[in-house]
Amino acid sequence: EISLGLVGSEMCIRDRHQVDSGIERSILDVFSMLLEQQQASQTLDKQMRTVQSWINAHLEQPLSIDKLARLACLSSTQFKKRFKASFSKTAQQYITELRMEKAKALLAHTDLPVQLVAEKVGYGDLSAFSRRFSLYVGMSPRSFSQGK
């Protein structure tokens, strides 16, 4: 039996026998990110909502600032300023955060090999993915996957 509840501002997941802190942290991270996105999308203009939706739907593809700026019908400079003002982070930081959270979820909840996870989150180069994941999470993708 699993119970889910809020304690203060923290969400807690408890199993009668054991709490898996890795899964709990992943769920909390995704939940927090979804809340941020929901709050941000309520105040975003149409151009930024369009870009946000497109990024979310195409994480596995290369996402350049020029491509995103064209999608928003803005110059690259205007796009970077508007994106940062809308999301309080750069487009690259936003994309990296989404990719790493998706990678964490795939590694924690599937048996996909690390190479395939890397590809599913937009990294064709396994070593680049591993370096970025290690910086973001604090451990290698393989170690994270084995700790599930």
Q: Is the pLDDT of residue 1 over 60?
A: no
Asked if 82 contacts 48 with a C-beta cutoff of 8 angstroms, the reply is yes
Tens digits of per-residue pLDDT, 12-46? 444 444 556 777 777 777 777 777 766 655 567 88
Three state DSSP letters for 47-110 = HHHHHHHHHHHCCCCCCCHHHHHHHCCCCHHHHHHHHHHHHCCCHHHHHHHHHHHHHHHHHHHC
Rounded mean pLDDT of the chain?
85
Long-range contacts of 131-139 (CB under 8 A, 24+ apart): 132/96, 132/99, 132/100, 133/100, 133/103, 136/96, 136/97, 136/100, 137/100, 137/104
Picking from 37-46, 51-60, 68-77, which range would have the lowest pLDDT averaged per residue?
37-46
The helix/strand/coil state of 148 is: coil
pLDDT above 90 for 48: yes
Return the pLDDT at 12: 47
